[in-house]
Amino acid sequence: MSSEDRRLDVLRAIVEDYVSTNDPVGSKALSERHSLGVSPATIRNDMAVLEDEGYIAQPHTSAGRVPTDKGYRLFVDRLSAARPLSGAERRAIQSFLEGASDLDDVLRRTVRLLAQLTRQVAVVQYPILARASVRHLEVVQLTACRVMLVLITDTGRVEQRVLELPGSLADDDITELRRLLNTHLQGRRLADAHQALIDLPDVVLPVLRPAMTTVVAGLVEALVDQPEERVVTGGTANLTRSPLDFPNTLQPVLEALEEQVVLLRLIGEVDSSTVLVRIGEENLHESLHNTSVVSVGYGAGETALGGLGVVGPTRMDYAGNMTAVRAVARYVGQLLAGS
């Protein structure tokens, strides 16, 4: 084992100890708790090097060392074998998710499960509209010239939208509208639906044309141009578990977690199915500079249906959380693909 390797071991040990105790860790304690095979003095030398390289820091002179963001980053990158799920966890996941009826229910359970498994704040994104395809499009007349469009996707999402029509429509017209929309859109991916929608007003009876134009405009705007992505969060109470992690910075974190936009950027950037870890200042949003985010895409195929993940202090159990996030994503992916 080269001295380089041992230094990495020391870093790993520091991270592990610090994560579990929340105290700056010193050379003596390290040599006692881990069998590194060298004396505290040697560890001290290694620590000095690690500090020079920016992987650890000491809060004040004569205190132990604490991993920096860069240190956590190296630790995470070096994380080789993911800890497998325990049987209990496996059962927990299954029993938690089975029996869910609709999409809302599935995601609510998922976020709860994830928060419970990781003891962090959990965030789950609804299946991305753009990547879903149309299962059904319902047109419900509210008043003479107001209709509600209800879109149902193959991922189970139900989106509604109220539109004001230029003129009043009869029942038959509504039926015709519905029929046309469905024959042209059913099975199509929303991302590809734009052209089909644009062409629709031309194939319609002149009487219906103004209405159809409005409906198409509404659909394009609401579902293609600015598709409304949604997320659910849970377990925010976990942020307060160790008050030391967020001395005075809890408020901005909570505020950030209430912003759908922020969360979407946090969780929704996952393309593939590899777990993504953002540590401390790697997060773009300033309020989250002392949090870490572990996220992954879920979905059956190669492109993710959506993302999910957890947010917590940089001092978190990365290995455990990565395993949990990955496992939950797989289960949810199967569940949603099967429905």
Which residues of the chain form contacts with DNA (CB under 7 A)?
3, 6, 23-29, 37-42, 44-45, 47-48, 51, 58, 60-65
Closer to DNA by Cβ: residue 58 or 141: 58
Partner touching 140 among a copy of itself, DNA, none, CB below 5 to 8 Å by kind: a copy of itself
Q: How far apart are CA 318 and CA 90, in angstroms?
A: 19
Residue 216 contact, options DNA, a copy of itself, none, Cβ 5-8 Å cut-off depending on partner type = none
When CB distances are held under 5 to 8 angstroms depending on the partner's kind, the choice from a copy of itself, DNA, none that residue 258 binds is a copy of itself
HEC profile of 271-310: CCCCCEEEEHHHCCCHHHCCEEEEEEEECCCCCCCEEEEE
The residue type of 212 is: M
Rounded Cα distance, 133 and 146, in Å: 25
Nearest C-alpha neighbor of 162 from the set 151, 146, 173, 176? 146
Place of tokens 């610090």: 18
**Which residues sit opposite 133 in a β-bridge?**
189
Q: Which is nearer to a copy of itself, 85 or 124 (CB)?
A: 124
Q: List, in order, residues 6 or more apart from 90 with CB less than 8 Å away.
A: 327
> In the complex, what is the shortest distance from the CB of residue 72 to DNA, in angstroms, rounded to a whole number?
18
102 binds, among DNA, a copy of itself, none (CB under 5 to 8 A by kind): a copy of itself
Residues with Cβ < 8 Å from 94, sequence gap 6 or more?
A: 331
* 7 touches, from a copy of itself, DNA, none (C-beta below 5 to 8 Å by class): none
Burial tier of 277 (Cβ tally within 10 Å: 0-12, 13-18, 19+): buried
Q: Select from DNA, a copy of itself, none the partner in contact with residue 255, using the beta carbon and a kind-dependent cut-off of 5 to 8 Å.
A: a copy of itself
- Contact footprint for a copy of itself (CB under 8 A): 101-104, 135-136, 138, 140, 142, 148, 150, 152, 156, 158, 160-162, 222, 234-237, 239-241, 243, 248, 250-252, 254-255, 258, 339
Q: Provide the minimum distance between the beta carbon of 305 and a copy of itself in the complex, in angstroms, as a whole number.
A: 17
- Give the nearer residue to DNA in terms of CB position, either 249 or 260: 249
Q: How far is the CB of 71 from a copy of itself (least distance, A)?
A: 29
Give the torsion sign (CA, 238, 280, 80, 55). Answer: negative
